[in-house]
Structure 1
Amino acid sequence: MSRLILFNKPYGVLSQFTDRGTETARQTLSDYVSVPGVYPAGRLDRDSEGLLLLTDDGPLQAKIADPRFKLAKTYLVQVEGEPDEGALYALRSGVRLNDGMTRPADAVRIPAPELWPRDPPVRFRKTVPDAWLSLTIREGRNRQVRRMTAAVGLPTLRLVRWRVGDWSVEGLNPGEWREVDAR
């Protein structure tokens, strides 16, 4: 039977089990998940938070991570600035990045969600407004959501992956995980 773990990756944690990158040890998945034989299905940048799926099933891992399967990934994105209809339309139509056009995204402005506090907190500037978007993409380029919002003039301040396919991070605090039925 395949194992599937939903993990709420905290800010600053690497999406891998070991850190070979620097002299200073950084937090990795092994600081939180002690289940042998599971590996991340996809990645989540160190400065992003939220749902990371781990599995011991290679075909399931490929299905989750491979853009050919177009599995929807929903992010809650705090952006700097006020999104107007033009910016939302651009995100919904596809954005030109240095590696080509993105697929259209589902982009909606939302009220500030009730999330856990981030450590360290997002810097607050009285003179610069911020807003929240729900952004659903069906591909997975490197730092794609951050690059898309920047391309429409809305730099990302905080990025939380909320959902991958039918799986959600809802009910998990940062650093917590639960095993679910892989079917």
Structure 2
Amino acid sequence: MARIILLNKPYGVLSQFTSEAGHTTLADFVKVSHVYAAGRLDADSEGLLLLTDDGGLQNRLADPRHKQPKTYLVQVEGTPEDAALAQLRRGVELDGRMTRPCDARQIEEPAWLWPRNPPVRFRKTIPTAWLEIVLTEGRNRQVRRMTASVGLPTLRLVRVAIGEWSLGELAPGEWKDALPAPQVSRAWRQRD
């Protein structure tokens, strides 16, 4: 039976179990053997990471061809103009290719969000804002590169949902098992 684990990956942690000099990894938080990350979050990103012991499911969750929506809360430097949000929604050019259209909207700062360690830099003269961005693809550092391309550099990035799974109330470094595998398997078959 496949196992799926939801982990709230803290800032500064690599999305892998093998250690690299001076870096904290998933092995420092999840003491479960034979599970692997289904997708990645950069070390400087936080939030929901799915782990599974099922290679086929791992591939399906991570592969952008299956268009699993991924929801991010993004603190950006600057004040988003309507034109910048519209450009994000239409797609931006990264490495000579347009990104898929996405959902992008400005939101209030999430009151429930934990403080980041180390804190995001603060500059008195430059405002910050929060966006919610929902992607169905996963290019390298895509959200950061998209916001930068419209003049809104990312300061903090937190993934809060992948498809039907959400972060819920997991604190940084906490994990829990997701739905039992038979329900998950039926849900995947229905999507095909």
Pairing partner for 1:148 from 140, 146, 149: 146
- Equivalents in 2 of 1:153, 1:104: separation in Å? 18
CA distance in 1, matches of 2:67, 2:103: 13
Summarize the alignment of residues 7-156 of structure 1 with structure 2, pairs less than 5 Å apart. 7-20=7-20, 24-114=21-111, 115-156=113-154
TM (norm. structure 1) is 0.96
Distance 1:118 1:143 in 2: 19
Aligned residues: 180
Higher helix share: 2
Segments of 5+ residues of structure 2 without an aligned counterpart are: 185-192
- In the TM superposition, residue 18 of structure 1 has moved relative to its aligned partner by 1.2
Percent sequence identity is 66
Query: Which amino acid is 2:171 matched to?
Result: N
Q: Distance in 2 between matches of 1:73 and 1:92?
A: 14
Distance 1:31 1:134 in 2: 29
Q: Give the secondary-structure state (helix, strand or coil) at the position aligned to 2:125.
A: coil
Distance across 2 between alignment mates of 1:158 and 1:41: 22
State the shift of 1:25 in Å: 2.3
TM superposition shift of 1:98: 1.9
**Coordinate RMSD, CA, aligned:** 0.8
Secondary structure at the residue paired with 2:143? helix
Structure 1 stretches lacking a partner, 5+ long? none
Provide, for residues 37-84 of structure 1, a one-character-per-residue CA deviation record: whole Å limited to 9, x for no partner.
100000000000000000001111111100000100000000000001
TM-superposed CA distance for 1:99, in Å, is 4.2
Which of structure 1's runs of 4+ aligned residues deviate more than 3 A? none
TM-score by length of 2: 0.92
Q: Distance in 2 between the 1:105 and 1:118 partners?
A: 26
1:2 is aligned to 2:2 = yes
1:99–1:143 CA distance, 2 compared to 1 (3 A): farther
